[in-house]
Structure 1
Amino acid sequence: MSGTRWLTDEQQRVWRSFGAAVDMVRGHVDSQLQRDSGMPHTYYEVLAALSEEPGHMLRMSELAERCRSSRSRLSHAVARLEESGWVSRTNCPTDKRGAFARLTDEGLAAIEAAAPGHVEAVREALFDVLTPDQTRALGEISDAIRGRLGRQCGAALAEADAAEAAAEP
């Protein structure tokens, strides 16, 4: 494997530290949402995305993109949110295969109740330990990574959606 660009010791240390930090922040936020609001972070992301839209509604495909989720995974989450009465789904009148997810009044109340604790958990786990310069640097770093991987991840999700659609009877 002569062409392999191995990580330096410092890069290996940073990579492992970064992975552990991301896992710990996610775990902290997930635990808080489950404990205080009875919902996983995935559901919070769906409710938040819908709450930020005019009319509190998005096409399912766009919602999947916003939540960085495959359509089938999002469909499962929306089905669970429908059972809770927090989201309703309607068919697209112009495209029989398309559907919209809409935040219900109960869903809006749920996200409004969950948001203060969620924001505090994010602040506590991430921003309270960073200086303003570190926060700016983290933003720049995150934007650089997203810029590099965003198209590849979008293409991978599209491939997963196509494979799932092909497997359906």
Structure 2
Amino acid sequence: MLNRLFRAVSALFLVGLVASCGGAKPEPTKFKSYDGPPVTQIVVKKGQREMYLVSGQKVIKNYKIDLGSQPVGAKQFEGDGKTPEGLYFINRFNPNSLYHLSVGISYPNNDDRARAQMMGLRPGGDIMIHGLGPYGRAANRPDWTAGCIAVNDQEIEEIYAMLARNGNGTTGVPVFILP
């Protein structure tokens, strides 16, 4: 009899414990949804530290950005700390980025490879638009990346959603990176 009473009280306690968990706030998610106009191009103005997401001829969103640690001039080779300049394309999405989320840019293209090869160097790669992740803003200094374009984590969530279009991964969007 005492054993049954103990089991009943234990069961009620467990039911109460599980029920109390249901009222907790849901974890915030880094995967947002977006149902606005499609992004048809991205324009990066390195000198102004601005990035514009464009639909047709209308800017739908703009962001302040950080660049590579040596922001003046186009990327020439791996390790130069420069952000590329020219026409590239969105070519991949990384939901598991060390920098919260990231969206890949198609650097290096054939011209970039040839230029680096003429110098006997590798062009580098893995150029992304990404968030800050655990690195913050690299000791609060601007232009801290290895050549990528950085925004804050909330902004990369927006950008990722705008380009991914609710999971459909829109690759091929042109990215114009201007001096």
Q: If the length of structure 2 is used for normalisation, what is the TM-score?
A: 0.26
Structure having the higher helix fraction is 1
Which has the higher Rg, Structure 1 or Structure 2? Answer: 2
Q: Under a length normalisation based on structure 1, what TM-score does the superposition of the two structures give?
A: 0.28
